[in-house]
Amino acid sequence: MIYDWLYNLTGSEMIAIGIQSLLPLYLFILPFALVAVLLERKVAAHMQDRLGPMRVGYHGLLQTIADILKLLQKEDTVAADIDKKFFDLSPLLVFAGSYAAFAAIPFSGAFMGSNIDLGIIYIIAVTGLVVAGILMGGWASNNKYSLLGAMRAAAQIISFEIPTLLIVITVIMITGTMNLYTMSEWQTGYFWNWLIMGGPDLGITKILFIPLMVISFLIIFLSTLAEVNRTPFDIPEAESEIVAGYHTEYSGMKFAMFFLAEYANMFAVSAIVSALFFGGYQSPFGYLGNLLEISWLIPIEQFFWFTAKGVFFVLVQMWLRWTLPRFRVDQLMSFCWKYLIPISFVILLLVGLITVL
């Protein structure tokens, strides 16, 4: 674990914890957001037979850096009638909520922010802060569109937490652990040991689990997509209806914080999905480090596989975004309450029966 290494290096628990807690932010989320924003724009452009950003750097590779420089220089315009304290607090809270989720995500066998046993439940609980932050920002903006967007966001995120949680409970019933690290370790080996392929335990249950797990994966993917307010579930920031939703009044770096939180969330959600169903950081084909007997190569490979899986699901999210139009509010709610929740209940019951037998 990196923590022990940092502890030995610095000799202080506080410094080691401090460094470790900042590692994912500076080494992962910020670079990821930089790449993902560009990727999103390029993917969107090419799906619409356009080229996207082409001016800054080769094929617009430095576009996001230029954007960040622009955002840093921008005036922080603040409307007269807003509630300043909460208005300023909201982006911090949103980002804190999405960043806190990274604490329990295992990036590789050697790095995990905090190896707590609650793991996945902690992640779902702490992302509740995002709802609070969004609601706070929307309400403090003193703008009807912001408030509408915030209300929609709250309703949506809370509704979609139910199918997410039901599927998570299903997975917990199978794996017997809430810790994402143990969960990933449990799915070790090759890709047929992943939970989407029925888990590592051989037997009749493995075959029975496969269709259930595929449907579970679809449900959790869609409901987490809705939780991070991505198209087709982006009704909280529906541009055509309510300007920009809860971040209408924000500008400059505060807006950038919301943006960063969105991309951090996108990756967090993809990481959770891959940790639950696709073996987390486990390689699908075995490790080069084992083959060459270089033990330090394995964590790096694991990190590569973790990032690859995460980025793959982020790409699928983008792909969905540029394929589907936005849901209507009532369609969204009926999709959640009439389809996702009953089906996840049925899966929960079936998995319970299978594991008991």
Partner 1 sequence: MKNYILKFWQGFFTIMIGMKVTFRHLFIPAVTIQYPTVRPEMPERERNRLYVNMDDCIGCLQCERACPVNCIEIEIVKSIPGEDLGITSNGKKKALWVTKFDIDIAKCCYCELCVFPCPTDCIYMTDVYEFSEFERDNFIYDFVTLTPDEKEEKKKNHEEFMIKKESEKAAAAKMKAEEEAAKKNENVTKSKNNTDDKPEENKE
Q: Pick from 25, 45, 125, 151: which binds partner 1 (CB under 8 A)?
A: 45
Q: Shortest distance, CB of residue 53 to partner 1, whole angstroms?
A: 11
Q: Shortest distance, CB of residue 152 to partner 1, whole angstroms?
A: 22
Contact between 328 and partner 1 (CB under 8 A)?
no
Of 36 and 136, nearer to partner 1 (C-beta) is 36
Q: Pick from 8, 49, 292, 357: which binds partner 1 (CB under 8 A)?
A: 49
CA dist 320 and 326 (Å) reads: 11
Contact between 89 and partner 1 (CB under 8 A)?
no
Fill in the per-residue mask, 269 to 298: x = in contact with partner 1 (CB under 8 A), - = not in contact.
------------------------------
Q: Shortest distance, CB of residue 58 to partner 1, whole angstroms?
A: 13
Q: Pick from 2, 253, 311, 343: which binds partner 1 (CB under 8 A)?
A: 343
DSSP 335: I
Residues in the chain, overall count: 357
Q: Shortest distance, CB of residue 216 to partner 1, whole angstroms?
A: 14
The strand pair at 106-108 and 111-112 is best described as antiparallel
Of 179 and 223, nearer to partner 1 (C-beta) is 223
Contact between 350 and partner 1 (CB under 8 A)?
no
Fill in the per-residue mask, 212 to 251: x = in contact with partner 1 (CB under 8 A), - = not in contact.
------x---------------------------------
Of 2 and 47, nearer to partner 1 (C-beta) is 47
Q: Shortest distance, CB of residue 221 to partner 1, whole angstroms?
A: 12
Q: Pick from 37, 43, 154, 183: which binds partner 1 (CB under 8 A)?
A: 43
Contact between 50 and partner 1 (CB under 8 A)?
yes
Contact between 324 and partner 1 (CB under 8 A)?
yes
Contact between 56 and partner 1 (CB under 8 A)?
no
Determine the 3-state secondary structure of 77 from DSSP: coil
Contact between 112 and partner 1 (CB under 8 A)?
no
Q: Pick from 86, 190, 322, 345: which binds partner 1 (CB under 8 A)?
A: 322
Size of the site for partner 1 (CB under 8 A): 17
Contact between 346 and partner 1 (CB under 8 A)?
no
Contact between 46 and partner 1 (CB under 8 A)?
yes
Contact between 51 and partner 1 (CB under 8 A)?
yes
Q: Shortest distance, CB of residue 217 to partner 1, whole angstroms?
A: 12
Note whether 279 and 194 are within 8 A (CB): yes
Contact between 81 and partner 1 (CB under 8 A)?
no
Secondary structure (H, E, C), the chain? CHHHHHHHHHCCHHHHHHHHHHHHHHHHHHHHHHHHHHHHHHHHHHHCCCCCCCCCCHHHCCHHHHHHHHHHHCCCCCCCCCCHHHHHHHHHHHHHHHHHHHHHCEEECCEECCCCCCCHHHHHHHCHHHHHHHHHHHHHCCCHHHHHHHHHHHHHHHHHHHHHHHHHHHHHHHHCCCCHHHHHHHCCCEHHHCHHHCCCCCCHHHHHHHHHHHHHHHHHHHHHHHHCCCCCCCHHHCHHHHCCHHHCCCCHHHHHHHHHHHHHHHHHHHHHHHHHHCCCCCCCECCHHHHHCCCCHHHHHHHHHHHHHHHHHHHHHHHHHCCCCCCCHHHHHHHHHHHHHHHHHHHHHHHHHHHHC
CA dist 200 and 43 (Å) reads: 35
Of 172 and 215, nearer to partner 1 (C-beta) is 215
CA dist 272 and 104 (Å) reads: 10
CA dist 158 and 124 (Å) reads: 11
Q: Pick from 30, 47, 125, 350: which binds partner 1 (CB under 8 A)?
A: 47
Residues that bind partner 1 (CB under 8 A): 43, 45-51, 54, 218, 319-320, 322-324, 339, 343
